[in-house]
Amino acid sequence: MNKILKAMKPYPMDELIKAKENLKKQGKKIYDFGTGDPKEPTAPFIREAVKNAIPEVSQYPTVKGRKDLREAVSSWFDKRFGVKLNPETEIIPSAGSKEAIFHFPLVFIEEESYKKRVIYGTPAYPVYERGTLFAGGIPNPVTLKFENNFLLRLDKISPSILEETRIVWINYPHNPTGAVAPKSYLEDIYEICKEYDIILCSDECYTEIYFEEKPLSALQIGRENVVVFHSLSKRSGMTGYRSGFVAGDEKIIKEYLRFRSSFGVGSPEFVQIGAREAWKDEKHVRERRETFRKKKEIFEEFFKNEGFKFLDVKATFYFWVKVPEGISSKDYALHLLKYGIVVSPGEFFGKGGEGFFRIALVPSVEECKEAVKVWKEAHKTLIRSKN
């Protein structure tokens, strides 16, 4: 077995899958706030486009992707962020963002180079670290702090570390905390990356799930050495379709495209056609945002009433919540499991996650209303047992 894989802990969400399977065997009603995989149906017009595009004869898709999909992405990006992207040289469709994020360091990390550190915040999406390890890079996690709104502060990292850094990952709006980055922050991190010749990779999968101001893209600040990753999973409820895109500095995109044919990651043509239609439409996205807003309001009221401390949710469909005193994030999650409530312990997202848990607003609005009643009882039981 690959020594890197052998040394790795199981992928965190695999633990949740096992826990849910055990609950099902017990016949318990499950309120699944664990994995960020919303249950709202994919818009009918997207499903219809995919269905109509399934060919009689199936052939290999190109890694570069369909021209009309790249043009649809370019048009959407211009309307949404005011940034014009060349669909021929600055956009690559991907099979969701996860594979694109994982594979990116494999292309741009050189094991023999002194410049092979990859900086990312913790708590974080686990794929930044895993992609780095498989590429032979050096993971450099930086603890994100509640008091700093979970912003990755490159200005606090020593110049000697930055000199050795090849890639910096940022992810705003942030998974798992829901934190949002202001323009001034993006400007500062862009300048630091330019100064040290670092590729700034911005995971922007949650920019379309917002409740106040529209989140920004790193490409609104600059294009040199900047690459952004987008997905239809959260925006359009297409998690199972595996569709997204990578865009940015054409020099980087050119190199990334050159190597991606080795990975065999071209999306099926019929998925690309569905994706094309999804990027053209905003109505279904607005409707999804309103659904998440209703769920958010249910849990804001619940957490406030029960005395939980949490980061104000301005974007994403996550709550990042402090666990009650005197219990670990994993033990609190295990306590809730007894009642059929599934949450993600903070430790799943790295060392910076201990002391918190994440909930994903996945169940329906009605199920959320049911869940808070069950959770209230579960929380009371825990408090009574500690007194």
CA distance 241 to 244: 9
Whether 132 has a pLDDT exceeding 70, the answer reads yes
Whether 387 has a pLDDT exceeding 70, the answer reads no
Scan for tokens 């930044």, then name that residue.
128
pLDDT tens digits, one per residue of 197-246:
999 999 999 999 999 999 999 999 999 999 999 999 999 999 999 999 99
Query: What pLDDT score was predicted for residue 330?
Result: 87
Any residues with CB less than 8 A from the CB of 270 and at least 6 apart, and which?
A: 50, 53, 54, 55
Domains and CATH numbers, the chain: 3-42+283-385 (3.90.1150.10), 44-281 (3.40.640.10)
How would residue 287 be classed by pLDDT, with cut points 50, 70 and 90?
Answer: very high
CA distance 328 to 309: 15
Query: What pLDDT score was predicted for residue 13?
Result: 63
Task: Residue 69: name the closest of 81, 61, 80, 58 by CA.
Answer: 61
Written as one string, the DSSP assignment of 256-314 is: HHHHHTTTT-PPPHHHHHHHHHHHH--HHHHHHHHHHHHHHHHHHHHHHHHT--B---S
Burial class (CB in 10 A: 0-12, 13-18, 19+), 99: middle
E strands within the chain?
31-32, 91-94, 117-122, 138-143, 165-170, 199-203, 226-231, 244-248, 318-322, 341-342, 344-345, 356-360
Task: Residue 272: name the closest of 88, 54, 75, 74 by CA.
Answer: 54
H/E element holding 162? helix 159-163
Whether 101 has a pLDDT exceeding 70, the answer reads yes
How would residue 116 be classed by pLDDT, with cut points 50, 70 and 90?
Answer: very high
**Vertex 199 angle, CA 139 and 111, to 5°:** 50
Q: Structure pTM? A: 0.94
Whether 298 has a pLDDT exceeding 80, the answer reads yes
Query: What pLDDT score was predicted for residue 39?
Result: 85
Query: What pLDDT score was predicted for residue 12?
Result: 61
pLDDT tens digits, one per residue of 14-61:
766 777 787 778 888 889 998 888 889 999 999 999 999 999 988 889
Query: What pLDDT score was predicted for residue 201?
Result: 99
Pairing of strands 199-203, 165-170: parallel
pLDDT tens digits, one per residue of 257-281:
999 888 878 899 999 999 999 999 9
82-91, 180-189, 345-354 — which is least confidently predicted? Answer: 345-354
- From residue 325, give the alpha-carbon distance in Å to each of 301, 349, 382: 20, 20, 11
As a whole number, mean pLDDT of residues 146-156 equals 93
